[in-house]
């Protein structure tokens, strides 16, 4: 679409079609893993339109700023322009130059033009930073914890609450439990079966297997996608996906068999992720989106991270509309109905619903 592209004396805006150049820029400038082209391909597997917008230096044609955008449209959930879709940390990545704010502002203005062309209800740049363009509002709805890992595994361990350390040690000493880093499509399928059951228990529609398969194909070989499992007597009872890029590892896709919660496999799994981030030289580990004060919030807090709010940046081309909130009361009835549906039904129907939501 992009009927009109922004241009200044210093920058031009266009669409990047070079995935290698895009990924290298995002990695080099410490962008989030959700800005990796592999994530974009996973979103596109649902058929959503996408744009890899870049502001380029006119003199050198080098990328100065990058912004992935996705159009998610639904009769039920409305029309929105998202960065990223289905995740919490995205928005604009800028090279660290004296003129970075100008490149950033140019991409934001182009985003507003695209929103008008598409006629969306709103634009959402999730977990974005330093937005100074007019008509963009910052809202803090979700929180995460970030844990410094550049201090080494021993120091990371010492920062974990004593009671949590004991649970991790108990799980590590349990001969019936096995920790495994996935290295095959069979492992991904094992994880996905547990993922389906976990989402069903929560009353939430699941992603398609193709979504995960695309992430695996595009990101696993280069070390950006790491799937780990806890097995109990050969059966997967905990699973976690870590996405890494730049200086940070991002937790995403935590699943579990609630019947085995007393074995503390989830605690061991998270420790193994933190340990790996420290051993591999990452600066930080980000624990994923949660609601302040929830049980998941308290679990993550016990690992010693610093509470960090996501700055979600929104733009409304027309009237301000209510943003989707999966915790709202109006969705509770739908969740209860979903839980009662057969798992075989939710596996087929879930992705058709999930692709329309965007969160």
Give the strand pairing for 93-94 and 122-125: unpaired
Of residues 213 and 330, more confidence is placed in 213
Mean pLDDT confidence for 240-260: 96
Tens-digit pLDDT profile for residues 272-300? 999 999 999 999 999 999 988 889 999 99
Contact 166, 264 (CB under 8 A): no
pLDDT at residue 76, as a whole number: 78
Quote the CA–CA distance of 209 and 322 in Å, as a whole number.
Answer: 30
**pLDDT value at position 5?**
67
* Mean pLDDT, residues 202-225: 96
Residue count (the chain): 359
> pLDDT tier at 3 (50, 70, 90 boundaries)?
low
Statement: residue 4 has pLDDT above 60: no
175 pLDDT exceeds 80? yes
Query: Quick one: what percent of the chain has pLDDT higher than 70?
Result: 94
Give pLDDT, residue 226. 98
With b for 16 or more beta-carbon neighbours within 10 A and e for fewer, the 75-95 pattern comes to eeebebbbbbbbbbbbbbbbb
- On the question of pLDDT at 7 being above 80, the answer is no
Domains in the chain: ranges and CATH: 11-140+311-329 (3.40.630.30), 143-309 (3.40.630.30)
Question: What's residue 77's pLDDT?
Answer: 83
Give the mean pLDDT of 56-72.
Answer: 94
Mean pLDDT of 206-216: 98
Q: Provide the mean pLDDT of the chain.
A: 92
Dist. CA 13–CA 22, nearest whole Å: 14
Confidence of residue 326 (pLDDT cuts 50, 70, 90): low
Task: Decide if pLDDT at 260 tops 70.
Answer: yes
| Average pLDDT value for residue range 333-359 | 91
Q: Distance between CA atoms of 235 and 248, rounded to whole angstroms?
A: 30
Residue 335 reports pLDDT greater than 90: no
Residues of the chain above pLDDT 90, percent: 79
Say how far apart CA 118 and CA 216 lie, in whole Å.
31
- How high is the pLDDT of residue 327? 64
- Residue 115 to residue 143: CA distance in whole angstroms: 27
Q: Name the strands in the sheet holding 225-232, side by side, starting at the edge strand that comes first in the sequence.
A: 177-181, 225-232, 235-245, 248-256, 284-286, 143-148, 306-309
The helix (run of H) or strand (run of E) holding residue 272 is helix 265-279
Distance between CA atoms of 313 and 122, rounded to whole angstroms? 10
Q: Where does the pLDDT of residue 130 fall: very low under 50, low under 70, confident under 90, or very high at 90 and above?
A: low
pLDDT of 263 above 60 = yes
- Phi, psi (5° rounding) for residue 326? -65, -15
Phi-psi region of 246 (alpha: psi -120 to 50; beta: other; left: phi over 0): left
The answer, yes or no, to whether residue 328 has pLDDT greater than 90, is: no
| pLDDT tens digits for range 235-247 | 999 999 999 999 9
Please check the confidence at residue 133 and state whether its pLDDT lies above 90. no
- pLDDT for res 323: 76
Compute the distance between CA of residue 164 and CA of residue 184 in angstroms, rounded to an integer: 31
Is residue 85 within 8 A of residue 70, CB to CB? The reply is yes
Question: Which pLDDT score is estimated for 98?
Answer: 79
Helix (H) or strand (E) holding 117: helix 100-118
């Amino acid at each position: 679409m992009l009927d009109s592209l922004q241009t200044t004396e210093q920058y031009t805006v266009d669409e990047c079609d070079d995935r290698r150049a895009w990924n290298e820029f995002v990695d080099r400038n410490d962008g989030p893993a959700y800005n990796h082209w592999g994530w974009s391909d996973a979103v596109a597997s649902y058929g959503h339109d996408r744009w890899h917008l870049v502001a380029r230096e006119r003199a050198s044609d080098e990328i100065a700023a990058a912004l992935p955008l996705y159009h998610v449209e639904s009769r039920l959930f409305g029309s929105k322009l998202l960065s990223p879709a289905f995740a919490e940390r995205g928005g604009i990545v800028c090279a660290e130059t004296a003129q970075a704010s100008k490149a950033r502002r140019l991409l934001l203005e182009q985003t507003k033009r695209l929103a008008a062309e598409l006629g969306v209800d709103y634009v959402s740049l999730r977990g974005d930073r330093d937005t100074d363009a007019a008509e963009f509002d910052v809202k803090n709805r979700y929180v995460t914890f970030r844990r410094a890992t550049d201090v080494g595994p021993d120091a990371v361990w010492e920062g974990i609450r004593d009671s949590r350390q004991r649970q991790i040690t108990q799980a590590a000493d349990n001969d019936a439990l096995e920790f495994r880093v996935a290295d095959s499509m069979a492992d991904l399928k094992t994880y996905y079966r547990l993922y389906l059951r976990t989402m069903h228990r929560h009353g939430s529609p699941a992603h398609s297997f193709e979504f995960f398969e695309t992430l695996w194909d595009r990101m696993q070989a280069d070390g950006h996608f790491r799937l780990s499992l806890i097995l109990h007597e050969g059966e997967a009872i905990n699973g976690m996906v870590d996405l890494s890029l730049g200086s940070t590892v991002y937790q995403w896709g935590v699943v579990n068999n609630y019947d085995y919660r007393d074995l503390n496999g989830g605690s061991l799994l998270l420790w193994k992720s933190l340990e790996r981030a420290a051993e591999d030289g990452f600066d930080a580990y980000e624990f994923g989106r949660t609601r302040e004060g929830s049980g998941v919030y308290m679990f993550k807090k016990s690992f010693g991270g610093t509470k960090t709010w996501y700055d979600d940046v929104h733009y409304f081309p027309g009237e301000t509309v209510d943003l989707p909130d999966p915790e709202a009361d109006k969705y509770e009835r739908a969740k209860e109905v979903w839980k009662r549906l057969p798992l075989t039904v939710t596996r087929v129907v879930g992705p058709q619903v999930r692709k329309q939501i965007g969160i």
